[in-house]
Amino acid sequence: MAALRSILSRREVNQFCSIGSELLSGPLSLSLEKWEAALEALEKAKNDSSILPAVASLSIDSASTSVRHYHNVYSKCVRLMVIPLRRWQQWREGLCFFMGESSREEAAPLATLCRQCLVSQQECFAVAFWGCWSSVVIRLELHMTSLAAAAASEVGVEKSGENGDGDVSFEEGEEKDEEEEGVNTEDVDLSILRLRRRCYSELYQFQRLAHDAAHLFGSYAMVGRAERQWLTDTFLLGRDEKAAEALVRRSFKRDFGVPSADLDSGVLLDEYHSFEVNEGKEKAMAKRAQDTLKGAWCLKARDLFEHEMRAQNERPSKECGS
């Protein structure tokens, strides 16, 4: 029965799925002309009811087949070719088009497939534009989304524990025993070690993003800002508050050592001032910021950033003049 459904669904969208099929199944092609022709044909065909019937009229299997084919053609293309940004935008808009047509209640699997393809498209974009701010933004958004999902999952586990989950109750019992033994007075360094071990993957991703964005003078500070917001929202006012405060300070210390527009304008120092209550640490951090701003790295980064901004501002005026 499943095989019959597959044959019928393929027949419904056979004409659409034939576009670019030779590029998917045949020998590797490095012809930009062939790939551009295939992508252009796909974009036209998805809006042509004589080639691809209205998605709402298709069975879920047929619609899913057409989405997979559309996505696969673009995915293979970007692995082999450098395509213009407008094609990346069309790819994303095309997936959104299919997802928008999946509003029927029974079309939930199609909507799920479209969302998976959108995530895959973002990951491909992040790799293709590695080192550019647009890539860092996507990776940061994906990381923050995964953190939010993990937090929601933990809340669900805690609620199930309240309703009688033995494992969670056991962990709560352990915490009570630890508090009775005086864990609240443990050395802060041990608390930091415990928190870093617990959140190693999450903190590593922030560190990696900060490393990859260190050359982006205009927007570097956004990574550290997101990291500190997550630490604050997740751990401050909780059991690991002291450790979280120390990790926030380390995040600031890292960002004060890297030239950025927010460091240059004083915004980053203002943010630290609103957080820090230790005057001695604040003075030390302000000195680190000043040392960075006076360094050759910052001077060159600032000059390059200003040059890029001037070039960007001059481009529209030249286009208007022409």
Other beta carbons within 10 angstroms of residue 290's beta carbon come to 13
Claim to verify: residue 62 and residue 192 sit in the same structural domain: no
Residue 167 lies in a domain: no
Residue 18 lies in a domain: yes
- pTM across the whole model: 0.69
Confidence of residue 188 (pLDDT cuts 50, 70, 90): confident
Claim to verify: residue 145 and residue 277 sit in the same structural domain: yes
Spatial separation of the C-alpha atoms in residues 259 and 214, rounded to whole Å? 8
Structural domain containing residue 273 = 133-149+186-314
Claim to verify: residue 277 and residue 145 sit in the same structural domain: yes
Residue 1 lies in a domain: no
- Checking if the pLDDT of 62 tops 70, the result is yes
Other beta carbons within 10 angstroms of residue 22's beta carbon come to 12
User: What are the structure tokens assigned to 218, written together?
Assistant: 């205009």
The sign of the dihedral angle between the CA atoms of 274, 276, 278, 283 is: negative
Residues in the chain: 322
Claim to verify: residue 193 and residue 310 sit in the same structural domain: yes
Tens of pLDDT along 123-151? Answer: 899 888 888 888 999 899 989 999 998 88
Q: What local confidence, expressed as pLDDT, does residue 179 receive?
A: 43
80 Cα distance to chain centroid: 23
Provide the 8-state DSSP code for 132.
S
